[in-house]
Amino acid sequence: MQATADQFTVRQHNSALIVRALRQHQTLSRAELAAETGLNRSTVSSIVNDLIQQHMMEETTYQSDRIGRPGLLLTLNPSYGCTIGIEVNVDYLAATLLDFTYRVIWQARTPLTPGLSPADVIMNGIAFTQEAIQEAQYRRIPPLGIGVVLPALIDTHRGAVTLGPNLGWQNISVLKYWQAQFDLPILVENDANAAAVAEHYLGNARNVENFVLITGGVGIGGGIMVDGKLMRGQNGYAAEVGHMVVDPEGQQCGCGSQGCLETVIGNTIIVEETRQLLRTNKQPSRFTAESIDTLNFDDIVQAGLDNDPVCRLQLQKIAYHLGLVVSQLGSLFNPEMIIIGGYSHCLLKFLIPEIKIVAQKHSMQTNSPPLNIQPSHFGVNSSVIGAAALVYDHLSQPVFSNHIN
């Protein structure tokens, strides 16, 4: 019996390898699949036949493959199923549907009223998940699972928020609430880890096995990929870049420490500080006393990019601190790439060159090329797309394999 169970697990594992290779390359011949996965031809053929019968995979046009042999190319059936990504953040909810080929087929975002209790936020998140399921049903693509991501320390085994300083959450079993509503496999993950997965599977870090992602916002998150796997650390709290102390005498942080990076350049702090600076500003400015009171982060970005002197300096301050942290992460991890995300594309366009200058100045002057610093491919949508992408990994684990077979 044991041997049969093991054989079943090996076959599931090999099926997952084949599906993943096809997600990465879109179309491959059987010979290419064997080369890509390291499996032998007969194993590939047998699994492919099964997957075709299950409508998970299709044969496409007859043509020569890249190895030069004529044959039918294989591709995944995009409508076989989709996964749902849900991002619960401080001031918004986001949702996405990712089809079986990793294509984003639907996205939505809605603001959250400030000051809602965790229970109310969860209720809104569940309603948003229901909306995503309806969208999948409308497209006649069965939902296969749900990934929920939050800007918090997450116990992934329990699916619980251990501590979410910016959410104001502590010890909340997110998984239980979703499980009570949906009969689908569900996972809970940190938002920045999910963003790193999105970049690795679908974005700017495809084929990059060692990289660090920093994601800015109200909080500053991080995800570290080592040899193609998320580095989680002892308790799953690795890569909390936002809680690196940059000003030991600085402001109290929600995490219990003092002077963390996010108390210096987190969006909320930048907004508060910019309002104060503008109130005492003697230079000409587009802002009236009334508009200063209602100023938000996007207004500061826009004004900074339009050369408003106060706002421009604030954007440079963000870049300066990110540059210092990037140089330290470069020394610690010697990554192939560092990705900056979480910000809008237009802000990233401004930040990246500035970060490069600071990071270069404060990096070890070796003969190796400078750090490869790239903007996130998905900008503010990385985390929610990563949430949905992670579900496919979750599904390929043997315990859930009945959901895709």
The site for Zn ion (CB under 5 A) is made up of: 243, 253, 255, 257, 260
Minimum Å gap between C-beta 293 and Zn ion is 28
The rounded distance, in Å, linking the Cα atoms of 217 and 224 is: 18
Residue (56 or 260) nearer to Zn ion, CB = 260
Which tokens go with 150?
A: 């939050």
Tell me which amino acid residue 360 is.
Q
The torsion angle over the Cα atoms of residues 348, 391, 156 and 258, rounded to 10 degrees, is 10
Q: In the bound complex, what is the minimum distance in angstroms from residue 300's beta carbon to Zn ion?
A: 22
Which candidate, 374, 358, 285, 360, places its Cα nearest to that of 318? 358
- Residue bearing tokens 């990554």: 335
User: Which of 257, 372 has the CB closer to Zn ion?
Assistant: 257
CA distance 180 to 188: 14
Minimum distance between the CB of residue 255 and Zn ion, rounded to whole angstroms?
3
Q: Which is nearer to Zn ion, 243 or 394 (CB)?
A: 243
For Zn ion, the closer CB: 226 or 269? 269
* Interatomic CA distance for residues 81 and 244, integer angstroms: 40
- Work out how close the CB of 276 gets to Zn ion at its nearest, in angstroms, rounded to a whole number: 22
User: Which residues neighbour 292 within 8 Å (Cβ) at sequence distance 6 or greater?
Assistant: 275, 278, 279
- Return the H-helix or E-strand segment holding 160: strand 160-164
Residue 159 or 217: the one with the smaller Cβ distance to Zn ion is: 217
- H or E, element range at 135: helix 118-138
Tell me the H-state helices in 202-260: none
Pairwise CA distance, residues 373 & 353, whole Å = 9
Q: Which two tokens stand for residue 96?
A: 């996405």
By beta-carbon proximity to Zn ion, the closer residue of 263 and 327 is: 263
Q: How far is the CB of 125 from Zn ion (least distance, A)?
A: 24
First CA to last CA distance, the chain = 20
Residue type (1 letter), 246: V
Smallest separation, CB 263 to Zn ion (Å): 7
Nearest distance, CB of residue 251 and Zn ion, angstroms: 10
Q: Are 211 and 225 in contact (CB under 8 A)?
A: yes
3-state secondary structure of 303: helix
Q: Which is nearer to Zn ion, 81 or 266 (CB)?
A: 266
Q: How far is the CB of 373 from Zn ion (least distance, A)?
A: 24
- In the block, residue with structure tokens 């440079």: 316
d(CA 151, CA 163): 9
Distances (CA, A) of 46 to 13, 20, 27, 69: 14, 17, 18, 19
Q: How far is the CB of 245 from Zn ion (least distance, A)?
A: 8
Nearer CB in complex with Zn ion: 267/381? 267
Compare residues 164 and 203 and give the one whose CB is closer to Zn ion. Answer: 164
Residue nearer to Zn ion on the CB measure, 192 or 260: 260
The least distance separating Zn ion from the CB of residue 253, rounded to whole angstroms, comes to 3
Distance (Å, whole) CA 249 – CA 246: 9
